[in-house]
Amino acid sequence: MLEAPQSFIVRQECEKAASQNGFRRILGEEAGWAAFGSTTAHGTIYLAAKGAQGPWFLALDHAGVIEELNLPAGAVSGPGRARFAFDDLGALYAVLRRVYELGVSLPDAPLREFELRVATLPRMTEAERLVVQRVGQDIFRQRLMDYWQGRCPLTGISDPALLRASHIIPWSECESDVERLDVHNGLLLSALWDAAFDRALVTFNDQGTPEFSLALTERARSELRWTSPISLTDEHRKRLVRHRERTHGQVEKASRHM
């Protein structure tokens, strides 16, 4: 079914697709599958084709990326944990871009980057610890930008200056750096939504629909416009349970003053 070994045209198209989407390390070819890696994204990708006109095939070994993609499996054998088929290169490119965004944002990648960048930084004083924290928060923001594809999932706003990296469980309450840097512990929200979320004036149910605290005025609610629910994973949902408890506390507080 696969072209093996790959012809010059198929090999060139595979290398081009991988390189343009962040996987520039050529790792070799076996049984028609060309393997590629990245210095920034975790995992190996494998590309193959039936011929120069397609169809094209992608194999992945990163379980987290596979789960997030939620694509139907292709009927082809090969390397990795899962394989997918595409009729044309355009469809393959679109998925490869998302594979890279997930590869650099899922928990193991930002944690490795953080540990590398702070390995030689002192942490004896409060000022030194704040420097380490800022490094982590910068990495967290960038990885949320990758994960949410540079836009607020509620409003569609994509201006970086208006986007905030919102922790679900606050940085100071996380039990480890793994939790602090996990993109499933964060949402990329526009500034007004971030302010409301940070103060537990709004939260989200398991379907990603906003739930507002009674402490919010009607005017404030009307300004918190949104176009669609947030797409959540189970990892997001289990953390939002704690956030909803904070928001419900705001409801009880508001009720006592009514």
Nearest to 168, CA basis, from 157, 156, 180, 159: 180
Report yes or no: 64 and 101 within 8 Å, Cβ to Cβ: no
Are 99 and 128 in the same domain?
Answer: no
Is residue 180 located within the same domain as residue 99? Answer: no
Domain that holds residue 184: 108-256
Looking at the structure, do residues 91 and 139 belong to the same domain, yes or no? no
Q: Is the pLDDT of residue 247 over 90?
A: no
Residue-level pLDDT at 212: 92
pLDDT of residue 252: 46
| 257 — pLDDT class (breaks 50, 70, 90) | very low
Answer yes or no: do 18 and 72 share one domain. yes
**Spatial distance between the Cα atoms of 80 and 67, rounded to a whole number of angstroms:** 13
> Is the domain of 209 the same as that of 167?
yes
pLDDT tens, position by position, 53-112: 999 999 999 999 999 998 998 889 999 999 999 999 999 999 999 999 999 999 788 999
Query: Based on the domain organization, do 21 and 94 belong to the same domain?
Result: yes
E-strand spans in the chain? 25-30, 33-37, 45-49, 56-60, 82-86, 163-167, 186-190, 202-204, 210-212
Give SS3 for 50: coil
Residue 3 lies in a domain: no
Mark whether 133 and 212 lie in a shared domain.
Answer: yes
How much is the pLDDT for 250? 57
Tally of domains within the chain: 2
Assess whether 40 and 97 both reside in one domain.
yes
Average pLDDT over every residue of 1-6: 93
pTM here? 0.87
Query: What's the confidence (pLDDT) of residue 249?
Result: 63
Work out the mean pLDDT of the chain and round it to a whole number: 93
Q: Is position 227 within any domain?
A: yes
